Structure 1
Amino acid sequence: MKFQQLRNATIIIEYAGKKFLIDPMLAEKGAFPGFEGTINSHVANPLVHLPIPLDEILDVDAVIVTHIHPDHWDDAAIKLVPKDMLIFAQNESDSSVIQGQGFKNIRVMGEKTVFDDITLIKTTGRHGGEKTVEKYADLLGLVSGVVFKHPNEKTVYIAGDTVWYEGVEENLKKYDPDVVILNS
């Protein structure tokens, strides 16, 4: 396994002979305004330049989109990712949005999604505390993580855009990952 964080939640993971791009935010540094209501809403995003060329970033077997907020799936990714690229989405709703953006090869992750001989398991996540999520459910939306399993690799849990809560604890107990990757 190889792991490379590009920026924010955008990562590349090489796992069991396959290469995945997760949560591509591919815009130029500072291309869009800060996120309203956050402590750094005055700071334009993305915060840093991409560390490697786009052709290397897009040289992958599949893309995983944990949710469709613009810091995980931005307009640049929508424009630059090949429309026939295999994309794994967290649910039917996100899949429909991505399909509406012109993509043709979308699979919805579930409890046990198999890609070649790699098992991808969608996990739960939560954008904030219980009261925050209740109050801003429409704005925050659903979020997921993903567990990678393969007999010849360590089990990897990418927690996704989540706070610590009982769901993350349950995922850790249930999947017993060797490696945990956090967006922090």
Structure 2
Amino acid sequence: MIKPIKKEDTLLEEIKATANKSEGLRIWWLGQSGFLIQWNKFHLLLDPYLSDSLTRKYANTEKQHVRMSELVISPEKLNFIDLVTSSHNHTDHLDAETLNPILDANPGIQFIIPEANRDFVAERLGCDRNIPIGLVDQQSHILNDKVSITAIPSAHNELETNEIGQHKFLGFIIKVGPYTIYHSGDTLWYEGLESKVAPFKPDVMLLPINGNRPERKIAGNMSSEEAAKFGKAIDTGVVIPHHYDMFEFNTEDPANFVKAAEQEGIPYKVLEIGGKLEI
């Protein structure tokens, strides 16, 4: 099993050591599509999956979710989070065993979801349906004059909406001080995605690379090659791949992304689980 470069209390010590640092941006990969962003005392947690709930759920089925990597940190230890997201309803992005301990440990936290998913989220987490903050296409939530988050539709595999046209799958543009980050959630590269993302001129793009393979019998994402080409199309600062090394049946070799990124000539950073990028 893959061991995080830093985990549990060792990772926590590293995060807290720079918590009050006013300069620079730090991004830690927590596995799958989960990232922790730290800037000037703010901590934003994107789509965390920090449990073994899926492994247990599918243990006796034909779609076993065999873990490839160790758990990087227990969710209840993350008691300093200002905002957490769930980009869509799949359990590796909306996990009650992850999110409930985080919500309990952070009474003032803001919880961002697609507005279309409000009732589903409330039912899964057993929380008041008014607790999450729901966003729709192009809508922004402003934390303060330095931090905001804006919704961008994602296609996983389709641009799926509810009966009033609200998207069920989102990505997020996160602005923290002078930095802009695009977290795609789970998505294919659909027609028009680049025109939605490019105006924000992201410094960092967090993109999935596990691909879209029908034999897996699950919704897919960009491939390594598509993520690299999308990075070039947007002309971003740096692309960080995600959505691999969690489950054996649904992963990708990051070396394929490295090869594609170098062919496209884009800046990139492949993180180890528990590893960070500092800008």
In the aligned structure 1, how far is the partner of 2:47 from the partner of 2:180? 20
State the match for 1:60 in structure 2.
Answer: 81
State the match for 2:46 in structure 1.
Answer: 22
Q: How many angstroms does 1:146 deviate by?
A: 0.5
State the match for 1:2 in structure 2.
Answer: 26
State the match for 1:33 in structure 2.
Answer: 58
Q: Select the residue among 116, 134, 149 that pairs with 1:120.
A: 149
Report how many aligned residue pairs link the two structures. 170
Q: How many angstroms does 1:9 deviate by?
A: 1.0
**Is it true that 1:174 corresponds to 2:199 in the alignment?**
yes
Q: Select the residue among 104, 121, 126 that pairs with 1:98.
A: 121
Percent identity of equivalent pairs? 19
Q: How many angstroms does 1:102 deviate by?
A: 1.3
Q: How many angstroms does 1:24 deviate by?
A: 2.2
**Is it true that 1:82 corresponds to 2:111 in the alignment?**
no
After superposition, the C-alpha distances for 1:22-66 in whole angstroms (9 at most, x for unaligned) are 1122213833328x89xxx3443x542221343443431121111
CA contact (8 A) 1:125 1:167 kept: no
Q: Select the residue among 29, 48, 60 that pairs with 2:69.
A: 48
What amino acid sits opposite 1:115 in the alignment?
L
In the aligned structure 2, how far is the partner of 1:79 from the partner of 1:55? 9
TM-score (structure 2 length as normaliser): 0.53
Q: How many angstroms does 1:137 deviate by?
A: 8.3
CA contact (8 A) 1:147 1:156 kept: yes
Task: Give the number of the structure whose residues are more often strand, by fraction.
Answer: 1
What amino acid sits opposite 2:132 in the alignment?
I
What amino acid sits opposite 2:91 in the alignment?
P
What amino acid sits opposite 1:99 in the alignment?
A
State the match for 1:148 in structure 2.
Answer: 174
Name the SS of the counterpart of 2:84 in structure 1.
Answer: strand
In the aligned structure 2, how far is the partner of 1:180 from the partner of 1:112? 18
Contiguous gaps of at least 5 residues in structure 2: 1-24, 210-279
In the aligned structure 1, how far is the partner of 2:118 from the partner of 2:36? 21
Higher RCO, Cα 8 Å, sep 6+: 2
CA contact (8 A) 2:87 2:114 kept: yes
Q: Indicate the larger mover: 163-172 or 62-71.
A: 163-172
Q: How many angstroms does 1:176 deviate by?
A: 1.6
TM-score (structure 1 length as normaliser): 0.77
Q: How many angstroms does 1:2 deviate by?
A: 1.2
Name the SS of the counterpart of 1:126 in structure 2.
Answer: coil
In the aligned structure 2, how far is the partner of 1:96 from the partner of 1:28? 24
Task: Give the number of the structure whose residues are more often helix, by fraction.
Answer: 2
In the aligned structure 2, how far is the partner of 1:126 from the partner of 1:55? 31
In the aligned structure 1, how far is the partner of 2:208 from the partner of 2:142? 24
State the match for 1:183 in structure 2.
Answer: 208
In the aligned structure 2, how far is the partner of 1:142 from the partner of 1:96? 12
Contiguous gaps of at least 5 residues in structure 1: none
What amino acid sits opposite 1:172 in the alignment?
V
After superposition, the C-alpha distances for 1:90-144 in whole angstroms (9 at most, x for unaligned) are 11x322333342156321134221012212110111012xxxx38x989xx8211
